[in-house]
């Protein structure tokens, strides 16, 4: 070793020793103040939940954001990718499904679960949305399940949230046939199933047509409330008529708006919390490995 190198090594050793001495002195000082000896945090073991679906899952109109906010612990990432007006067909065609799969591929998580809920817009008559219930709809679900598994994530299927239409005091659950298709796919592919349609239908039927109106985004008008009292709800008003005015904005503030309206499909805070609790309960039962990450 050259003289120059020897001097450099000696200086480094001296500095290291001085640094260690300062660390020991600092720890002793902190201990004297009541602090414990400092240690390193254990490595986080985190899971991830990705929520895929339509407006009954989407922010401000569905249950999923309330589920993430109130029922999922911070050690599990919870991402709501529900979007209004989407079906199993349009969600893929517009590119939202590719985004969801991209989120499912993200590394660093112990396990990723993708919860999938469709049916409302597959049932619609809008040209870009509708699918054939007996063939196309279950085929689309099967493809989603297979692709989630291909990226190493765990698919979980949900039957669609019930609408809250009543006829003579009985819930008119038009989404039950679509729910049967979801159940069949879950059974055939051995996928965990949350039967949200059955659970939500039971809850809404117990409430009855008048009390169930409290689950909507806004209050009903007098005619809607009166008609519900007869046991049969009115047909939902057109969106333009039922929608509340936009929230006031400022030039330099946020300008985005949520559509807020009274109908028998979408959810306000009370409805979102009710069904988020049902999801938490049933997810813990269907996916036991998540029980410690889900709060009642």
For residue 35, the model assigns a pLDDT of 87
* Contact between 53 and 159 (Cβ < 8 Å): no
pLDDT given for residue 190 in this prediction: 98
Q: What percent of the chain has pLDDT over 70?
A: 89
Confidence of residue 6 (pLDDT cuts 50, 70, 90): very low
| pLDDT score of 141 | 98
Task: Say if CB 121 and CB 129 are below 8 A apart.
Answer: yes
Distance of CA 289 to the CA centre of its chain: 18
In what side-by-side order are the strands of the sheet with 111-117? 76-80, 47-53, 111-117, 154-158, 193-194
Give the residue from 236, 221, 224, 216 showing the smallest Cα distance to 60.
216
**100-124, pLDDT tens digit by residue?**
999 999 999 999 999 999 999 999 9
Q: Which candidate, 192, 177, 171, 161, places its Cα nearest to that of 274?
A: 161
Q: Which residue has the higher pLDDT, 173 or 2?
A: 173
Compute φ and ψ for 53, nearest 5 degrees. Answer: 175, -155
Could you read off the pLDDT of 253-271 as tens digits, one per residue? Answer: 999 999 899 999 999 999 9
d(CA 85, CA 117) in angstroms, rounded, equals 13
pLDDT value at 11 more than 60? no
Which is higher by pLDDT, 141 or 37?
141
Structure tokens at 181: 């298709």
Q: Residues 6 or more apart from 78 whose CB is under 8 A from it?
A: 48, 49, 51, 67, 68, 72
Q: What pLDDT does residue 114 have?
A: 98
* Residue 26, pLDDT above cutoff 80: no
Is 50 exceeded by the pLDDT of residue 7? Answer: no
* C-alpha atoms less than 13 angstroms from C-alpha of 262 in its C-beta half-sphere: 17
Q: Looking at residue 15, what is its pLDDT?
A: 44
Phi, psi of 166 (to 5 degrees): -125, 145
Tens-digit pLDDT profile for residues 187-241: 999 999 999 999 999 999 999 999 999 999 999 999 999 999 999 999 999 988 8
pLDDT exceeds cutoff 50 at 13: no
Map out the domains of the chain as residue ranges.
47-200+269-293
Question: In percent, how much of the chain has pLDDT > 90?
Answer: 85
Q: What is the mean pLDDT of the chain?
A: 92
Residue 1 has pLDDT above 80, yes or no: no
**Burial degree of 113 (CB within 10 A; 0-12, 13-18, 19+):** buried
Query: For the segment 55-104, what is each residue's pLDDT rounded down to a tens digit?
Result: 999 999 999 999 999 999 999 999 999 999 999 999 999 999 999 999 99
For the domain bounded by 47-200+269-293, which CATH number is listed?
Answer: 3.40.50.1110
Which tokens go with 182? Answer: 């979801």
Q: Is the pLDDT of residue 136 over 70?
A: yes
- Residue 214's CB: how many other CB atoms inside 10 A? 13
């Amino acid at each position: 070793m050259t003289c120059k190198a020897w001097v450099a090594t000696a200086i480094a050793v001296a500095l290291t020793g001085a640094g260690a001495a300062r660390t020991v002195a600092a720890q002793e000082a902190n201990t004297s103040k009541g602090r414990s000896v400092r240690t390193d945090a254990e490595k986080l073991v985190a899971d991830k939940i990705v929520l895929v679906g339509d407006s009954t899952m989407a922010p401000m109109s569905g249950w999923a954001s309330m589920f993430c906010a109130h029922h999922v612990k911070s050690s599990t990432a919870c991402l709501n990718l529900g979007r209004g007006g989407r079906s199993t067909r349009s969600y893929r065609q517009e590119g939202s499904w590719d985004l969801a799969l991209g989120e499912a591929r993200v590394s660093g998580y112990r396990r990723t679960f993708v919860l999938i809920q469709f049916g409302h817009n597959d049932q619609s008559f809008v040209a870009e949305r509708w699918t054939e219930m007996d063939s196309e709809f279950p085929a689309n679900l099967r493809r989603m399940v297979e692709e989630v598994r291909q990226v190493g994530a765990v698919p979980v299927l949900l039957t669609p949230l019930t609408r809250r239409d009543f006829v003579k005091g009985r819930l008119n659950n038009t989404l039950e046939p679509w729910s049967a298709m979801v159940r069949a796919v879950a059974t055939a592919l051995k996928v965990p199933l949350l039967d949200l349609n059955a659970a939500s239908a039971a809850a809404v039927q117990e409430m009855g047509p008048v009390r169930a109106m409290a689950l909507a985004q806004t209050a009903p008008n007098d005619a809607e409330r009166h008609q519900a009292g007869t046991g049969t709800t009115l047909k939902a008003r057109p969106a333009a008529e039922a929608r509340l005015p936009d929230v006031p904005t400022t030039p330099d503030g946020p300008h985005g708006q949520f559509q807020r309206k009274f109908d028998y499909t979408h959810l306000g805070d009370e409805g979102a919390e009710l069904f988020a609790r049902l999801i938490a309960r049933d997810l813990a039962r269907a996916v036991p490995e998540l029980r410690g990450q889900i709060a009642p």
